[in-house]
C-alpha cells in the first residue's frame, strides 16, 4: 500500500488554502514535529511544490527546497505551516517566515493553536497584499453532545498514544472501503486531516463541554448504508490529552473500533514518566468508554505502525499481536487494511 495511491478528494480552491502548496518546516527538530507537513506530502503529493526549511531544520520531506519567492514563481498559491509543537506556539522566526511568504504573494494556512491573525505583523502583511490567512484550529460553532442514537455506521480509530498512526489508518480504511464499492467518508478531527480532506473539526481546539457535540455535528445521521470513518485523537492513557479522546469516543458513537499502536515506543509522547499501556488494556478501556453512547460497539482490528523495523519483523509483530488479541492486525501503509475491512463487513453485513 502506497499512501500516494489513495484517492483523496481534492481540496477545493475556495476553502481558504488553495493549492499548490509550499510546505513550511521551520526548524522542526524531529519527524513528529513535522507530522502535518509529512501527512500532506504523503496524501496530497500532487498539491505540494516544495518545502521551506529553517537553518536548524532536522526534517527533509524529499521535496525541492524553495524560498517563498521561488515557490510563488513555480505556481504555489499557499504556504502551509506544517509544524507542530507543545502548545502550538509561533516563535519570532516563524512569524518572520510567514511575513516573507505573504510578501512573496502566498496565502498562508496554519494548524498551530497560535492564530495567524493574532500576530500583528502577519495580519498587516496579509491585509497589505489582500491575501488570505486560514487557521485550521478555529472550530465551527456547535452544541453540546446529546448522546441520542443516530442513524448510520461509524468506525473510529483509537490509540495507545498520540501521534501513532490514527489519521493514516483512518484514511487508508476509508479508501479501502471505497475501493470495494462501499460508501465511506473520512471525517477529520485534527489539523493535518483537515488540510488533506479540505474540511473537519479541530477537536483539540473545541471547548471541553462541546467536544462530543462537535463530533455529533461532524458525523450526523446518514441513511445510505455507508460508513463515517472518524479520525481518532490522543489516547485515554495520555495524561495531557485523554479528555479529548473521551469526548471523541462519546460523540462518535462508534460501531467499530480499530486500535492503533507503535511497537517499541519507550514512553508516552512528551511524558517520559508514563509508559504505554498494554494493547489489551487500551482496547478494553476504549470499548468500555464507547459503550456509554453505543453499547453494541465492537473491536474490528489493530493497526500497527512498523515504520522503524524491517519487513520480517513487521510481519512477526503483526502475527504475534493477532494471536494475542484475536483481531486482524496489519500495518496500513505497509500491508494495507484489507483484512480489517473484511472483519468490518463480516461483523456489520
The chain-wide mean pLDDT, for the chain, equals 92
pLDDT band at residue 87 under the 50/70/90 scheme: low
Instruction: Identify the pLDDT of residue 116.
Output: 94
Q: Is the pLDDT of residue 5 over 60?
A: no
Per-residue pLDDT at 11 exceeds 50? no
Q: Are 79 and 52 in contact (CB under 8 A)?
A: yes
Which of 47, 176, 84 is closest to 168 using CA atoms? 176
* pLDDT score recorded for residue 86: 65
Q: Tell me the per-residue pLDDT of 317-342, one tens digit each, with 9 for 90 and over.
A: 999 999 999 999 999 999 999 999 99
Residue 15: pLDDT band (50, 70, 90) is low
Do 160 and 285 meet the contact criterion of CB atoms below 8 Å apart?
no
φ and ψ of 86, to 5 deg = -60, 120
For the ranges 76-80, 89-93, 119-123, the lowest mean pLDDT is seen at 89-93
Rounded-to-integer distance, Cα 7 and Cα 176, Å: 10
What cell was used for 76?
Answer: 504555489
* Range with lowest mean pLDDT among 11-25, 27-41, 206-220, 237-251: 11-25
pLDDT band at 16 (very low <50, low <70, confident <90, very high): low
Render 261-322 in DSSP notation, one character per residue.
E-TT--SBTTBTT-PPPPHHHHHHHHHHHHTTT-TT-EEEEEEE--TTS-HHHHHHHHHHHH
Residues, the chain, total? 349
Residue 126 pLDDT exceeds 70: yes
**Tens-place pLDDT, residues 26-68:** 999 988 889 899 999 999 999 999 999 999 999 999 999 999 9
Average confidence (pLDDT) over 298-315: 97
The reported pLDDT for the residue numbered 32 is: 81
Phi-psi region of 96 (alpha: psi -120 to 50; beta: other; left: phi over 0): alpha
In whole angstroms, what is the distance from residue 275 CA to residue 265 CA? 9
Contacts with 26 (C-beta within 8 Å, 6 or more apart), sequence order: 53, 54, 57, 81, 83, 93, 94, 97
* CA-wise closest residue to 52 among 40, 35, 73, 70: 70
Q: How many CB atoms lie within 10 A of CB 204?
A: 19
Distance between CA atoms of residues 237 and 289, nearest Å? 12
What's the pLDDT score for residue 267? 95
* Per-residue model confidence (pLDDT) at position 90: 86
Amino acid at each position: 500500500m502506497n499512501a500516494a495511491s489513495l484517492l483523496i478528494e481534492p481540496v477545493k480552491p475556495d476553502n481558504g488554502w488553495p493549492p499548490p502548496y509550499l510546505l513550511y518546516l521551520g526548524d522542526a527538530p524531529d519527524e513528529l514535529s513535522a507530522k502535518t507537513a509529512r501527512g500532506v506530502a504523503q496524501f496530497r503529493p500532487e498539491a505540494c511544490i516544495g518545502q521551506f526549511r529553517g537553518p536548524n531544520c532536522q526534517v527533509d520531506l524529499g521535496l525541492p527546497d524553495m524560498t517563498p519567492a521561488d515557490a510563488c514563481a513555480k505556481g504555489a498559491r499557499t504556504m502551509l505551516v506544517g509544524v507542530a509543537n507543545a502548545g502550538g506556539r509561533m516563535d519570532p522566526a516563524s512569524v518572520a517566515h510567514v511575513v516573507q511568504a505573504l510578501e512573496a504573494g502566498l496565502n498562508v494556512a496554519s494548524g498551530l493553536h497560535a492564530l495567524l491573525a493574532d500576530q500583528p505583523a502577519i495580519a498587516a502583511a496579509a491585509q497589505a497584499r489582500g491575501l488570505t490567512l486560514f487557521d485550521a484550529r478555529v472550530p465551527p460553532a456547535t452544541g453540546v453532545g446529546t448522546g441520542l442514537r443516530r442513524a448510520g455506521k461509524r468506525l473510529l480509530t483509537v490509540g495507545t498514544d498520540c501521534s501513532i498512526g490514527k489519521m493514516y489508518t483512518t484514511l487508508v480504511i476509508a479508501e479501502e472501503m471505497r475501493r470495494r464499492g462501499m460508501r465511506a467518508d473520512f471525517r477529520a478531527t485534527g489539523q493535518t486531516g483537515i488540510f488533506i480532506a479540505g474540511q473537519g473539526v479541530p477537536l483539540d481546539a473545541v471547548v471541553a463541554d462541546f467536544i462530543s457535540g462537535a463530533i455529533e455535528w461532524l458525523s450526523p445521521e446518514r441513511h445510505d448504508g455507508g460508513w463515517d470513518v472518524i479520525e481518532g485523537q490522543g489516547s485515554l492513557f495520555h495524561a495531557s490529552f485523554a479528555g479529548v479522546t473521551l469526548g471523541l469516543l462519546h460523540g462518535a458513537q462508534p460501531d467499530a473500533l480499530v486500535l492503533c499502536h507503535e511497537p517499541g515506543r519507550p514512553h508516552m509522547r512528551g511524558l517520559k514518566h508514563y509508559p504505554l499501556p498494554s494493547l489489551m488494556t487500551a482496547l478494553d478501556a476504549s470499548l468500555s468508554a464507547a459503550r456509554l453512547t453505543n453499547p453494541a460497539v465492537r473491536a474490528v482490528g489493530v493497526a500497527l505502525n512498523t515504520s522503524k523495523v524491517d519487513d520480517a519483523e513487521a510481519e512477526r509483530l503483526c502475527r504475534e499481536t493477532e494471536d494475542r488479541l484475536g483481531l486482524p492486525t496489519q500495518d496500513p501503509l505497509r500491508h494495507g487494511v484489507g483484512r480489517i475491512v473484511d472483519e468490518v463487513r463480516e461483523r456489520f453485513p
